A and B are shown apart, each in its own frame.
Chain A
């Protein structure tokens, strides 16, 4: 080393603060669009439910929307940024991997703000409409398998059971959005062309299914569908993360009167939700770290 005059690099906390500010500044227009959509949704609920004298339920089924925000935010966050090569972001005096992770963290902070606003809006709608927040719901639980979804319910195969949403599931919109955000952040940060990879995966699955069909192998042909079902609707799958399986456990069946009703194959399980959350967020964190590591200072040429 020598006696050169050195300027100091910024502190990590200062960079995080600045990234949080920068994400806000860069995404003002998008935030306005999101706020507009939220107002539209509230207006719709007020018009369709509250003014009609109904109440608005505070159910985990609504948590799909925050997860959608988590899926889309990384694209907004990294848009216009040259993630590979000599982009402006990488020319700033911060360790490259740390910088990428700080940007992801800054985006997450805003995601949580958006989700909190959404949850509060739902809470307000429920309270204003006289709905119950932690009230008991009566669910129709299938005790015998349904032969065809949407078909006639098996006689004596349904019983009504009370179910109360535990307040712990109020965390689901936050954790679900976080999981979704981490998965897409990994793609946005780790891959040069994430959409091409997604399209390529889709084509590969299609090829496997078609090849299975040609070879008359039902097992091979069903691999993509089974894989997708496991990832999306499995015990610890995507739906368990996002809505505690309140979507994937539901189906429809016909009463003897011909009326179509919602029936549940099983009741949502808090343990499954907790495991799914730990799994998706844990893997998401590792994946984001690996994706950010592709940009580290001491990366390959």
Chain B
């Protein structure tokens, strides 16, 4: 596993969490470099939400440590949360009895760095209805409110758990544009868990893959796209793939004696192994971020 250099904005070590007999996280060592846009991918129940909740000290880990911008998430929990704009997985976590306007004022009092003018701008851009009670909002409206609450104090770290879940395509696109503008204006580290990697393709520069509670891969975008590629091979009759080739999927027969698969590893190493098995690499294709992430997930699941 590749590690980022020192100065990680978010860092966990040996983090483990169980709910009864179910393992949510196991020995997770996350490294989110400062200023990066880190996308955490994984299947449902892989432990993504648990990881973010532990960082916020909303859940406690059985073992391990977590730091946010150098602050221990348990021992310095309050100060650590002051650095975070957090969007939880569920939109229902807002205080149901407060009107949106009151809720914005409420959260503002908790964040001395709250930018009133920016908050007004976000309210306007998200089309929030300030006189509506938070509990009577639709999922999409609640999500937009959560975005405004998370961004308006310009936190150095954003923890976003499935942030576009529940947003219709138009609002989703508008929200992503706002996020891009926010990142351009405010130096922010982002850790986002999502199923929709393609939405974040243009933003993501680091990726982590969680598989059944284990962080099976963690690398920069460049490393990912360089080391996870689709290969088309010309193979001899009766060819069997060598066991030291890390394939993310079943080999598929292409035309004639051609076969193709997504392989993981440095290109020169993969090519050397293919050649040593009497096959020839015809060409290689760079994958999209989502395809590469899915390939890593698939390989971890095999």
Which chain A residues have a beta carbon within 8 Å of chain B's beta carbons?
A: 1-2, 4-10, 14-15, 17-18, 21-22, 25-27, 79-82, 85-96, 98, 297-301
Contacts and interface: CB of A to CB of B under 8 A. Distances in A.
A181 B112 CA distance: 32
Contact of A91 (B56, B60, B70): B56
Interface stretch (B75-83, B256-264, B270-278): B75-83
Given A5-B156, A10-B82, A98-B78, 14 more contacts: A4-B70, A9-B112, A10-B111, A15-B110, A18-B109, A25-B98, A88-B93, A91-B81, A92-B81, A92-B107, A93-B82, A93-B111, A96-B77, A297-B77
B135 interface: yes
Nearest to A92: B110
A25 B71 CA distance: 33
B79 A93 contact: yes
B61 interface: yes
Nearest to B112: A8
A292 to B, nearest CB: 14
A8 B154 CA distance: 12
B57 to A, nearest CB: 6
A95 B77 contact: yes
B141 interface: no
Q: Pick the most buried of A4, A17, A21, A300: most chain B CB atoms within 10 A of its CB.
A: A4
Interface in B62-114: 62, 69-71, 74-75, 77-79, 81-84, 86, 88, 93-99, 102, 106-107, 109-113
Contacts, number: 124
Dominant secondary structure of chain A at its interface with chain B = loop
B26 to A, nearest CB: 14
B95 A88 contact: yes
A82 B96 CA distance: 11
A298 B53 CA distance: 14
Nearest to B7: A2
Contacts of A25: 98-99, 102, 106
27 contacts: A2-B7, A2-B69, A4-B9, A4-B70, A7-B111, A7-B155, A8-B112, A9-B81, A9-B82, A10-B82, A15-B110, A18-B106, A21-B109, A22-B106, A80-B135, A85-B58, A86-B56, A86-B58, A86-B88, A91-B88, A92-B107, A93-B79, A93-B111, A96-B57, A297-B57, A298-B74, A298-B75
Contacts of A79: 97
Given A80-B97, A81-B95, A297-B77, A10 B59 contact: no
